[in-house]
């Protein structure tokens, strides 16, 4: 065994210094801005106000940051009109709604998540219980559902009439080699959503927390897990730096460790906006350049000091990358940037 002191001595005798330890490279906590508390979601005007209102109410009354982000995430999860999250989310190829969600808490760097959970409208609340009431981080499928039942969650049909009809239309238009056919008057939809929502917050102590929740890729193969419940992919945060979340094509966030990357870029001095753009660039590079990219991801970031960022890989007509925030200054929508223009 090499004694560290002896090792340092022998290095200095050779005129060498010890490489900087990884922890010495970590940025010192940024000064917490007076602008906090703040809560952010990855939606613009249409959903932002509705989603953030209950979370802001909790923060305004100096309530718990985890309660705040959960209250906001639950809004979209419980709303049947949102077809990409929770109840009323688009189903898998068999017509079954399977939900993914994760939560992370800055002060103890703890996290919890559920994947492919069926029948529970608010998967982010189950993820929070995984974090707070177990020694595990990730529960999937039947195990996640049994855990939710144990904690009193009701098992319900998450497919609404609206999403059932969209699914049937997709199924009937999928192939001309099977026995299904759509009504003559109807055109099939080829829209495969990966909507998702991220809710990130910083409280007045400067502590950070976040949630990502989704019904995942529409018509996915049963059992497919996206980025949302994978810590470091669809959500990551560090209490000394801030939080990053993602929506869009989950597979790309997983293979780039995109949210972890965004937080580490902020730790190394990039602003939340620069970090979001850099993650998008990394994904484009991994894929061999802009001409090879036919999907989209949107990255959102919240610095510990309340600074925000938002960037998407591609421009999407009628869907500018934007985020909403609520702080003492009120409700605000901020436009992000995109890297690849729509042709
Ligand atoms: N980002 C959501 C998903 O790919 O499942």
Query: What domains, with CATH codes, occur in the chain?
Result: 32-176+188-340 (3.60.20.30)
Q: How far is the CA of 250 from the centre of ligand 1 (A)?
A: 4
User: Residue 247 Cα, ligand 1 centroid: separation in angstroms?
Assistant: 6
Rounded Cα distance, 191 and 203, in Å: 37
**pLDDT exceeds cutoff 80 at 8:** no
Catalytic site positions: 196
Q: Is 201 in the pocket of ligand 1 (CB under 6 A)?
A: no
Instruction: Among 117, 227, 255, 256, say which to mutate for ligand 1: greatest number of ligand atoms within 8 Å of CB.
Output: 227
Residue 291 DSSP symbol: G
Helix/strand/coil for 304: coil
Q: Among residues 202, 271, 290, which one has the least CA distance to residue 238?
A: 202
Res. 187: pLDDT tops 90 = no
- For residue 234, the ligand 1 atom closest to its alpha carbon is 1
Distance CA(89)–CA(279), nearest Å, equals 27
250 lines ligand 1 (CB under 6 A): yes
User: What is residue 186's predicted lDDT score, i.e. its pLDDT?
Assistant: 65
pLDDT at 159 over 60: yes
pTM of the model: 0.90
Tally the C-alpha atoms within 13 A of residue 228's C-alpha that lie toward its C-beta.
35
Measured from the Cα of 247, ligand 1's closest atom is 1
Which of 86, 123, 196 should be mutated for ligand 1, with most atoms under 8 A from CB? 196
pLDDT band (50, 70, 90) for residue 195? confident
**Span from the CA of 85 to the centroid of ligand 1 (angstroms):** 10
User: Does residue 163 line the site of ligand 1, with CB under 6 A?
Assistant: no
Pairwise CA distance, residues 153 & 251, whole Å: 29
| 194 C-beta closer than 6 A to ligand 1 | yes
Distance 291 CA to ligand 1 centre (A): 22
Could you tell me the pLDDT band of residue 317, with boundaries at 50, 70 and 90? confident
Which pLDDT score, from 0 to 100, does residue 316 have? 80
Percent of the chain exceeding pLDDT 90 equals: 82
Looking at ligand 1, which residue's alpha carbon is closest to its atom 5?
216
- On the question of pLDDT at 233 being above 70, the answer is yes
**Residues 134-144: what's their mean pLDDT?**
98
Tell me the backbone φ, ψ of residue 320, rounded to 5 degrees.
-70, 140
Number of CB atoms found within 10 A of residue 174's CB: 15
Q: How confident is the model at residue 162 (pLDDT cuts 50, 70, 90)?
A: very high
Q: Is the CB of 258 under 6 A from ligand 1?
A: no
Predicted confidence band of residue 209 (pLDDT cuts 50, 70, 90):
very high
pLDDT mean across residues, the chain: 90
Find where tokens 């959903």 sit: 47
Of ligand 1's atoms, which has the minimum distance to the CA of residue 226?
5
3-state per-residue secondary structure call for 28-87: CCCCCCCCCCEEEECCCHHHHHHHHHHHHHHHHCCCCHHHHHHHHHHHHHHCCCCCCCCC
Rounded Cα distance between 91 and 166, Å, is 9
Task: Give 332 Cα–ligand 1 centroid separation in angstroms.
Answer: 26
Contact indicator for 212, 246 with CB cutoff of 8 Å: yes
Ligand 1 within 6 A of 193 CB?
Answer: no
The answer, yes or no, to whether residue 158 has pLDDT greater than 60, is yes
């Amino acid at each position: 065994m090499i004694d560290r002191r002896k090792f340092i001595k022998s290095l200095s005798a050779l005129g060498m210094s010890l490489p900087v330890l990884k922890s010495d490279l970590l940025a010192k906590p940024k000064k917490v801005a007076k602008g906090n508390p703040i809560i952010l979601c990855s939606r613009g005007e249409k959903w932002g106000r509705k989603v953030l209102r209950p979370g802001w109410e909790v923060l305004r009354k100096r309530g718990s940051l985890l309660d705040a982000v959960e209250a906001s995430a639950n809004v979209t999860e419980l709303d049947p009109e949102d077809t990409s999250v929770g109840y009323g989310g688009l189903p898998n190829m068999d017509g079954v709604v399977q939900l993914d969600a994760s939560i992370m808490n800055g002060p103890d760097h703890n996290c919890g998540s559920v994947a492919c959970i069926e029948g529970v409208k608010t998967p982010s609340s189950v993820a929070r219980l995984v974090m707070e009431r177990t020694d595990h981080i990730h529960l999937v499928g039947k195990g996640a559902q049994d855990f939710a039942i144990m904690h009193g969650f009701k098992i319900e049909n998450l497919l609404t009439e609206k999403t059932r009809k969209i699914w049937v239309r997709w199924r009937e238009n999928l192939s001309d080699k099977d026995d299904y056919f759509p009504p003559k008057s109807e055109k099939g939809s080829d829209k495969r959503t990966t909507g998702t929502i991220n809710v990130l917050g910083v409280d007045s102590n400067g502590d950070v927390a976040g949630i990502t929740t989704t019904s995942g890729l529409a018509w996915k193969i049963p059992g497919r897990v996206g980025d949302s419940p994978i810590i470091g992919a669809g959500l990551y945060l560090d209490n000394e730096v801030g939080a990053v979340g993602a929506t869009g094509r989950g597979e790309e966030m997983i293979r780039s460790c995109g949210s972890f990357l965004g937080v580490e870029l902020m730790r190394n001095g990039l602003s939340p906006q620069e970090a979001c753009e850099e993650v998008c660039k990394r994904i484009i590079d991994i894929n061999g350049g802009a001409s090879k990219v036919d999907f989209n991801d949107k990255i959102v970031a919240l610095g510990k000091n309340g600074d925000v960022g938002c960037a998407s890989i591609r421009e999407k007509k009628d869907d500018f990358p934007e985020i909403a925030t609520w702080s003492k200054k009120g409700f605000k929508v901020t436009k992000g940037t995109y890297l690849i223009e729509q042709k």
